[in-house]
Amino acid sequence: MDKEIEQGYNEILESLRKRSLWILHYCTGCGAIELPPTMTSRYDMGRFGIVPFVTPRQSDILIVTGYVNIKTLRRIITSYEQMLDPKYVIGFGSCSINGGIYWDSHSVIKKLDSYMPVDLYIAGCMPRPEAIIHSFKHLMELIDTGKADGYRRYKENYDFYRKNQRKVLGKWR
Amino acid sequence: MVEKILLAVLVPLFAFLVGIFLEGFKRKMVARIQRRYGPPLIQPLLDIIKLLSKKDNISHGLMFDLGPVIALSGSILTVFFIPTPGFKLLSASGDLVALLYIMVIGSLGMALGAGESGNPNASIGIARALTLMLGYDLPFVIALSTVILKFDTTNLYEIVAAQSDLYWGAFLMPITAVVAFIATYGAMGEHPFEVVVAPQEVATGPMVEYGGKHLGFLMIDHAFHIYIELALFTDLFLGGASNLGYFFLKIFGLHILLTFFDTVYPRFRIENAVRFFWRWPTVFALIGLLIVMIGG
């Protein structure tokens, strides 16, 4: 009985929580140029309760906008680990899926999912603001059904992610 | 006794609901001015629920945890002292001078808590907050002295009672009312005086290391803060109110006026903000004081 109450409580909480998601306004690649139109008057993501915030401590979503080179990967991982649970990662554009046009580059990582758990990808180069809004709505669905569990996967498979991070970054901390 | 305890719960609840409604309304109104649709009215409440239900919490020490608590309890204490129509709690025993001291507790708690985090942005934010306080407090205190001189009392209830039948402070001493409005505006930290929480410059200043439940407490505190500043101005210059509905309407009107200014202005640099406060509002506050001293 207690478990059912706790489950019901969690369900209500999750349906409220999904209506207030704050983005970490940290731009890693060229895809960041699509975020300002999404925030401002034309597409207005504020109507879903999604607003940009400036520090990792306050934010819920980390959007990895485009390619990630090794130098940036350090900052992204630090920012991600500074965010408080529950936290979500959106891989933005084809570069975060498989490297995109940086496939052969020596300094750009290919698959973001090996270094940090990605909850959701947006395909395209560039994804338009409509696609971003669509992805937010999809993320809300995932949160509602409890499928957006990247932060849990990161804790469970920490050794795996750590090993992959070490492979490209060396012993960096 | 039971009545007192009930009031001690109801008065902060009223203050919180008014504050949270005004915050939500402001976001909607700013959105409409910028030709957006805007978030729903209850968005601040959803934000607070989200923040309080965060699973992680990061602490940087004891004072870091206590800071938001001190800020919130200071705000709630201030709410007890402000005359609210229908509720008579502590407001009869305190006066304007005591209120001025209690109002600082909130900012002090936040400064202590943010200082513990060790983030340079937080330190800059606190320095800015205290400097700005130095700026707006000078005209504000002169304006309050004018009010005290005019009504010949420091008791808030008597000041409200003296303003019945449209003998509002704003009509009796218009210059002082305008100065107090500007000072209140500065105390609320809206544009162009939004130098403390400047996300583009110091990454939300004192709140930079706060997240999760800490930030939730600070957001509740912010809702109280909006209510306190506007309710104090309403009591001093708009004649209080005979019931809660009128009281709310007066606060609401003031807040709409504030939001118009907030939407169109950019941000001062900190030294410009202090220079502004020490120049025009102070001069006009002194003129208002002179008028009251000569004219009675």
**Which of A130, A67, A62, A129 is CA-nearest to residue A93?**
A67
Task: Give mean pLDDT, residues B67-93.
Answer: 80
pLDDT for residue B167 is more than 80: no
Judged by phi (left if over 0) then psi (alpha if -120 to 50, else beta), residue B166 lies in left
pLDDT for residue B89 is more than 70: no
Task: Give mean pLDDT, residues B105-126.
Answer: 85
- d(CA A99, nearest CA chain B) in Å: 31
- d(CA B2, nearest CA chain A) in Å: 32
A53: enclosing H helix or E strand:
strand A50-53
- Cα separation of A68 and B290, whole Å? 65
Say whether A46 and B35 touch across the interface (CB within 8 A): no
Say whether B40 and A49 touch across the interface (CB within 8 A): yes
Of A48, A49, A84, nearest to B54 by CB-CB distance is A84
**Which of A39, A107, A20, A35 is CA-nearest to residue A65?**
A35
Residues of A within 8 A of B54 (CB-CB) are 84-86
Residues of A within 8 A of B208 (CB-CB) are 55, 57
pLDDT at B21: 92
Going by their DSSP bridges, the two strands A120-122 and A88-92 should be labelled as: parallel
The highest-level CATH class for domain A2-169 is: alpha beta
pLDDT at B296: 64
Spell out the residues 6+ positions from residue B164 whose beta carbon is closer than 8 angstroms to its own. B239
A12: contact with B, CB 8 A cutoff: no
Say whether B36 and A40 touch across the interface (CB within 8 A): yes
Nearest CA in chain B to A54: B203
Of A47, A60, A83, nearest to B37 by CB-CB distance is A47
Say whether A16 and B208 touch across the interface (CB within 8 A): no
Distance of CA B227 to the CA centre of its chain: 6
pLDDT at B90: 65
A79: enclosing H helix or E strand:
helix A70-82
List Cα–Cα distances, A129 to A30, A48, A49, A67, A95, in angstroms.
14, 14, 16, 18, 17
- Cα separation of B273 and B242, whole Å? 36
Helix (H, G, I), strand (E, B) or coil at A55: coil
From A158-162, B41-45, B201-205, the region with the lowest mean pLDDT:
B201-205
Q: Which of B37-41, B110-114, B148-152, B160-164 has the highest mean pLDDT?
A: B37-41
Say whether B215 and A57 touch across the interface (CB within 8 A): yes
DSSP symbol at A69: B
- d(CA A83, nearest CA chain B) in Å: 8
pLDDT for residue B25 is more than 90: yes
Model confidence band, residue B91 (pLDDT cutoffs 50, 70, 90):
low
Spell out the residues 6+ positions from residue A113 whose beta carbon is closer than 8 angstroms to its own. A91
| HSE toward the beta carbon, residue A28, CA cutoff 13 A | 28
**Which of B221, B228, B254 is CA-nearest to residue B79?**
B228
Say whether A47 and B46 touch across the interface (CB within 8 A): no
**Which of A100, A43, A85 is CA-nearest to residue B211?**
A85
Q: In what order do the strands lie in the sheet with A120-122?
A: A50-53, A21-24, A61-65, A88-92, A120-122
Say whether B212 and A84 touch across the interface (CB within 8 A): yes
pLDDT tens, A9-59? 877 887 888 888 899 888 888 888 888 888 888 888 888 889 888 888 888
Q: What is the three-state SS of chain B?
A: CHHHHHHHHHHHHHHHHHHHHHHHHHHHHHHHHCCCCCCCCCHHHHHHHHHHCCCCCCCCCHHHHHHHHHHHHHHHHHHHHCCECCECCCCCCCCHHHHHHHHHHHHHHHHHHHHHHCCHHHHHHHHHHHHHHHHHHHHHHHHHHHHHHHHCCCCHHHHHHHCCCCCCHHHHCHHHHHHHHHHHHHHCCCCCCCCCCCHHHHCCHHHCCCCCHHHHHHHHHHHHHHHHHHHHHHHHHCCCCCCHHHHHHHHHHHHHHHHHHHHHCCCCCHHHHHHHHHHHHHHHHHHHHHHHHHHC
- Residue B148 near residue B101 (C-beta atoms within 8 A): no
- CA angle centred on B72, ends B59 and B263, rounded to 5°: 100
* Chain B interface residues (partner A, CB cutoff 8 A): 27, 31, 34-40, 43, 46-47, 49-50, 53-58, 199-200, 203-204, 207-212, 215
List Cα–Cα distances, A118 to A81, A121, A157, in angstroms.
14, 7, 13
Axis crossing angle, helix B120-151 with helix B174-187, rounded to the nearest 10: 160
Residues of B within 8 A of A13 (CB-CB) are 49, 53
- CA angle centred on B259, ends A61 and B197, rounded to 5°: 45
Which residue out of A13, A38, A55, A62 would a mutagenesis test of the B interface target, given it has the greatest number of B Cβ atoms within 10 Å? A55
pLDDT tens, A127-147? 889 998 999 999 988 888 878
Say whether B50 and A84 touch across the interface (CB within 8 A): no
Q: How many CB pairs under 8 A join A and B?
A: 84
pLDDT at B246: 85
From A35-44, B153-162, B171-180, B279-288, the region with the lowest mean pLDDT:
B153-162
Task: Give mean pLDDT, residues B78-88.
Answer: 79
Sign of CA dihedral A83, A84, A89, A92: negative
Residues of A within 8 A of B36 (CB-CB) are 40-41, 44, 46-47
Residues of A within 8 A of B215 (CB-CB) are 57-58
Model confidence band, residue B22 (pLDDT cutoffs 50, 70, 90):
very high
pLDDT at B256: 92
Residues of B within 8 A of A48 (CB-CB) are 39
pLDDT tens, A90-120? 988 888 888 888 888 888 888 888 888 998 8
DSSP symbol at A82: H
Q: What average pLDDT is seen over chain B?
A: 85
- Cα separation of B228 and B243, whole Å? 17
A152: contact with B, CB 8 A cutoff: no
Residue with the bigger pLDDT between B224 and B85: it is B224
A20: contact with B, CB 8 A cutoff: yes
Nearest CA in chain A to B204: A54
A156: enclosing H helix or E strand:
helix A150-156
Say whether B204 and A54 touch across the interface (CB within 8 A): yes
Task: Give mean pLDDT, residues A1-12.
Answer: 80
Say whether B38 and A46 touch across the interface (CB within 8 A): yes
Q: Which of residues 51-80 of A touch B (CB under 8 A)?
A: 53-58, 60
Of A47, A49, A54, nearest to B46 by CB-CB distance is A49
